[in-house]
Each structure stands twice: as C-alpha cells, then as structure tokens.
Amino acid sequence: MSEPIKIDIWSDIACPWCYIGKRRFEGGSTLFAEAGDGRAVEVEYHSFELSPDTPVDFDGTEVDFLAGHKGIPAEQVHQMLDRVTGIASSVGLDYDFGSLQHTNTVKAHELLHFAKANGKQLELAERLFRAYFVEGGHVGRVDDLADLAAEVGLDRDAAVEAMESGEYLAAVRDDQRTAAEFGINGVPFFVIDGRYGVSGAQESATFAQALEQVWTERAAADESATAEARA
C-alpha cells in the first residue's frame, strides 16, 4: 500500500485554470497525505496546446488576444479576467493579466519534457506558470525559457540545445495524441491511477475524495488478493 498514486495532468502553461487547478490539486493531495498510512502521489505533466497557432511574439494584450480568439467584446473579456484573478487570489496566486505576454507554448512544453528527463519537471512547471501569470515573463522564446530552466537547477546550455534541436517535440506530440484518444478537449485534465478522469480546476476536497477512493479500492483489492492466496 506504500506505492504512490500516479497522477497524469494534461495542461498548458498559458491556461489560467491550469495554475489554479495545480494549486487546488496540491491542496487536495496534502489533505489525502495527511490521513497517513503512506498515502502519497506521483505527478507527471503532459502537453496540451490551447492555441497552437499563436505566434511566439503576439502583438497585443491578453484582452486583445481573447477578444479576437473568442470573438467577444473587450469589456466582457475584462470581466472574465477579473473573475479569474479573484479565483486565483483565493488559492494564493497574484495574477497580473496586464503584464502577461501572450505567446506560443510549444517550446515550453518541449522544455517540460527535457525537465522530466532530468528530474525537474514539477519544479519547472511551477516556475513557468509563475513567470507567465504573475511576473509577466516570456515563456515562448528559447533564451527566456533557458533562463527559467537554469533557475530550477537545469543545465542552461543543455536546455537550449534540447529546444533548438526539437529533441522533445515528438514527446509533446505523443502527449497531444494521447489526449485526443482520451477525448480530452480542455485542460486541466487529471487522470488518477490510469483509471479515473477529473476535468477542470476542481476544489481541493474533490481531489482529496478521488484520491481516497482510489486508495480504498487498492486496499480492498490487496485484501482480496491476500485472501485468495491463503485459500
């Protein structure tokens, strides 16, 4: 029963709900772990691009992008962003949409795969989200991304080489194909223990309950296997 529950998360760095969902999931996994008996989770991030046709250097604000992308008035976009900012604040995130630099995120996804190969994916995911939504950093250009990689302890030169060579682009595309096979058309999307899907930035308690359900089912399966072995 000590094996962690595997959590596969499809997300995009440019998705405000993904960062909120990350915080809420972390709250839920903490609640789950606090119940003891070796409860733990193992998290892996997977690539999903919300707007793959976005240029690396988008000429305009986040309001401009969303108004054009969704075809809604700028005033309505402002109201949407104000609402999201308030929800982000409730989980300790200080979103700054005014300074956000909208960009293409494919290189960020490639870098996340590079980070996974080097044992730093979770640290990099957090750093990229914070740079994008809180600090107004650019997460689409290789040099800027390499700086962020170095901040979490990754080799900067190796990160640049990985992104410029496209070494991990196939891994990004594999994630996207798997998402399509699973029917995932929005993020964040959480796959728990390879069996249960949770869509959206659910409340922490919801995540904790889902994890506890999987843990209980595992315990029941282990007890049944033990009983059969003794019979």
Pairing type for strands 41-47 and 5-11 reads parallel
Q: Which residues contact 208 (CB under 8 A, 6 or more apart)?
A: 27, 28, 29, 31, 32
SS3 199: strand
The domains located in the chain, with CATH, are: 5-230 (3.40.30.10)
Q: What is the pLDDT of residue 18?
A: 98
Q: What secondary structure letter does DSSP report for 212?
A: H
**Separation between Cα atoms, residue 121 and residue 119, nearest integer Å:** 6
Q: What is the pLDDT of residue 227?
A: 66
**Separation between Cα atoms, residue 13 and residue 107, nearest integer Å:** 11
**Separation between Cα atoms, residue 106 and residue 126, nearest integer Å:** 17
Q: Which two tokens stand for residue 86?
A: 């308030």
Global pTM value: 0.95
User: Quick check: 81 and 17 in contact, CB under 8 A?
Assistant: no
pLDDT in tens, the chain (231 residues): 479 999 999 999 999 999 999 999 999 999 999 999 999 999 999 999 999 999 999 999 999 999 998 899 999 999 999 999 999 999 999 999 999 999 999 999 999 999 999 999 999 999 999 999 999 999 999 999 999 999 999 999 999 999 999 999 999 999 999 999 999 999 999 999 999 999 999 999 999 999 999 999 988 887 776 766 776
Q: Which residues contact 229 (CB under 8 A, 6 or more apart)?
A: none
Q: Which two tokens stand for residue 7?
A: 């959590």
Q: Which two tokens stand for residue 70?
A: 């969704």
**Separation between Cα atoms, residue 60 and residue 1, nearest integer Å:** 51
Q: What is the DSSP string of 16-67?
A: HHHHHHHHHHHHHHHHHHTT-TT--EEEEEEE--S-TT--SS-SS-HHHHHH
CA 165 to chain centre: 24
User: Quick check: 102 and 58 in contact, CB under 8 A?
Assistant: yes
Q: What is the pLDDT of residue 220?
A: 87
**Separation between Cα atoms, residue 45 and residue 22, nearest integer Å:** 11
Q: What is the pLDDT of residue 224?
A: 72
